[in-house]
Every structure is written in C-alpha cells, then in structure tokens.
C-alpha cells in the first residue's frame, strides 16, 4: 500500500487554494480590446473643441462645459440611457442660462436621447433656446401633435435674425416608449439642415441664403417643453397654449456643438453613448 505523504497533501491544498483564488478574480473583459467605433473609444473624443454644452443629467442639472446648473421646475432623475437621466412630468421643465458660446453659434449640432410616450395633449418640446420677443424661440425642437405610435413627426424651428425656417420629418416609426437618439444640425457654409435618428441621416434640407446664424433676443434654454409653456412665459410674444404640452418621459445626454457634426460623428456618438461610453 502506498503511503500518504502529509507534506505533499498540505502542499497540494495550498496550491489549490491559491489557484482557486486566482480564478475567482479572473475577468475575461479585462483582456478584451477596448471598444472602438469609427476610431473613437468614448463619446468624449467626438469634437471636444466644439462642445459648448453637455447635460448628462446624472443626478444633477449641471452643464459640464460651463460648470453651471439649470433651474428645476418639477422634474426629477431616473434611469437614463447612460447612468441617470432627466424625468419629466406635466407642467415640469428645466431652465438654463446659456452663455455666448451657445447664443453666438453660427452653426450647430444638438444631440440627445429621449424616451417619450406618445404625446396626446399637444406638442412636446425637448431642447429649446428661447427668443424673449418672439412667439417661437431661436431654436425649438419638439414632437408635433399629429404624431402616432407608428408615425411620429419630428419638427424644429430656427430663427436667424429676421428670417426663420421650419424643419420637419414625418412618418418616423417606432419612436415612442423607447430610448431614441436624435440629432439636428445646421452647417452655415453649406446652408444645410440635417436630421438624424438613431445615428442615421433621415432628412437633408438645404436652406439657400440662410447664412451664418445670428440669434436675437436670446433668453433661457428650456428642456422638457417650449418657451411659452413655462410659468411665467419666457417670451413676451406668447403665453400658454392649449395645443402645447410637456415631456412626461425621459431626456438624457444632451450635447450642443458649435459646428455641424459629420454623419460618421453623429453615428459614432449614438453608438458609443448607447454602450455607456
């Protein structure tokens, strides 16, 4: 009969304990290559020099570019597309005082995530730059009140001095009740507006003669409704309208750039943020 070597048994036991401890700590993800989309590893790498406003809504209303906070009326925080996001409600919104980096833009891209139910009580404003003397603001972005579950209507209005224009995309499917990424851009050089949904270009609208933007009577930015639905109204040009409403869903990762992002940049931004990057 083979004799049991107590020293060998003890050595084997120690080895198994050490190996088991190592295996418990092994993380396969740590050996995986970093996620790279169109040459970017993070949404922070996309046009950082042109980023003039960024609201992550991760438990605060702070714009991380200017390090200043918005003012809350009735909103809260909930799970977002990335960490936390802004939770809207009836008659609720956030106001933010923009600096010249935003009010002085000649071109722009506004990108954000929204998770909204179908609006049944009127238009739903999302990201807007008020005009204190106009019925409509300098920038208005909203869901039109003709939207349906199968065919949403995205609409935007932009004022340029005494000129104004409307941008509209009808028939967008599968927009409501889920996180959806939107981006609106204007390139002053080509005088062209573009609309993107989930990183894909869905509308190109040339605007000959529109030129570089020149916002006038710029007031507060408003998240979650349009300028005349606040209390008091942000403009002398209008008061509360019965065909307008509030975002009762969620808003997250609002970014404003002072240039029109390239198609690939918008796509990469959506994909990276959608993966928490």
Predicted local distance difference test score (pLDDT) of residue 26: 45
What are the boundaries of each domain within the chain?
38-274
Mean pLDDT of all residues belonging to the chain: 91
pLDDT in tens, 198-242: 999 999 999 999 999 999 999 999 999 999 999 999 999 999 999
By the 8 A CB rule, do 136 and 124 touch? no
The Cβ-side half-sphere exposure at 241, using a 13 Å CA radius, reads 18
In a 10 Å sphere around its CB, with 0-12 CB exposed, 13-18 middle and 19+ buried, how is residue 202 labelled? middle
pLDDT above 70 covers a percentage of the chain that reads 88
Predicted local distance difference test score (pLDDT) of residue 35: 78
Which CATH architecture describes the domain 38-274? Sandwich (2.60)
Predicted local distance difference test score (pLDDT) of residue 5: 56
State CA 134 to chain mean position distance. 25
Predicted local distance difference test score (pLDDT) of residue 36: 87
- Stronger pLDDT, 56 or 4, i.e. the higher one: 56
Q: What is the mean pLDDT of residues 8-12?
A: 47
**Is the pLDDT reported for residue 244 higher than 60?**
yes
By the 8 A CB rule, do 177 and 115 touch? yes
> What one-character-per-residue DSSP string does the chain give?
-PPP-HHHHHHHHHHHHHHHHHHHH--GGGGSPPP-BTTBSSGGGSSGGGEEEEE--SSS-EETTTTEE-EEES-EEEE-SSSEEEE--TT-EEEE---HHHHT-SSEEEEEEEE-PPP-SSEEE-EEEEETTSSS-SEEEEE-TT--SSSEEEEEEEEETTEEEEEEEEEE-S-TTS-EEEEEEEETTTTEEEEEETTEEEEEEE-TT--S----SEEEEEESS-GGGSSS-S-TT----TTEE---SEEEEEEEESS---HHHHHHHHHHHHTT-
Taking the complete model, does pTM exceed 0.95, yes or no? no
**Is the pLDDT reported for residue 4 higher than 90?**
no
Cα(129)–Cα(140) distance, integer angstroms: 7
**Is the pLDDT reported for residue 184 higher than 60?**
yes
Lowest pLDDT segment from 9-23, 71-85, 86-100, 161-175: 9-23
Handedness of CA 105, 108, 114, 119 (dihedral sign): positive
CB atoms within 10 A of CB 12: 11
Predicted local distance difference test score (pLDDT) of residue 126: 98
pLDDT above 90 covers a percentage of the chain that reads 86
**Is the pLDDT reported for residue 32 higher than 70?**
no
């Amino acid at each position: 009969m083979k004799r049991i070597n107590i020293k060998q048994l003890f050595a084997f036991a120690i080895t198994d304990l050490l190996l088991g401890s190592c295996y418990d700590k092994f993380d396969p993800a740590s050996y995986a290559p970093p996620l790279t989309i169109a040459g970017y590893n993070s949404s922070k790498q996309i046009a950082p020099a042109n980023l003039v406003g960024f609201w992550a809504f991760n438990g605060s209303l702070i714009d991380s570019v200017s390090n200043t906070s918005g003012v809350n009326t009735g909103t809260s925080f909930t799970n977002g597309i990335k960490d936390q996001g802004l939770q809207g409600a009836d008659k609720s919104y956030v106001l933010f005082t923009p600096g010249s980096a935003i009010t002085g833009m000649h071109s722009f891209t506004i990108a954000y995530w929204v998770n909204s139910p179908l609006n049944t009580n009127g238009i739903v404003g999302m990201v807007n730059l008020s005009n204190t003397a106009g019925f409509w603001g300098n920038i208005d972005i909203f869901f039109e009140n003709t939207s349906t579950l199968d065919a949403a209507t995205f609409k935007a209005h932009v004022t340029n001095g005494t000129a104004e224009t409307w941008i509209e995309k009808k028939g967008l499917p599968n927009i409501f009740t889920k996180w959806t990424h939107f981006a609106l851009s204007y390139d002053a050089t080509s005088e062209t507006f573009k609309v993107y949904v989930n990183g894909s270009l869905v509308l190109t609208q040339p605007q000959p003669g529109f030129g570089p933007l020149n916002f006038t009577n710029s007031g507060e930015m408003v998240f979650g409704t349009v300028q005349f639905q606040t209390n008091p109204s942000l403009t002398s040009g209008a008061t509360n309208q019965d065909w307008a409403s509030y975002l009762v869903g969620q808003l997250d990762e609002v970014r404003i750039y002072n240039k029109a992002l390239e198609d690939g940049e918008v796509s990469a931004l959506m994909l990276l943020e959608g993966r928490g990057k």
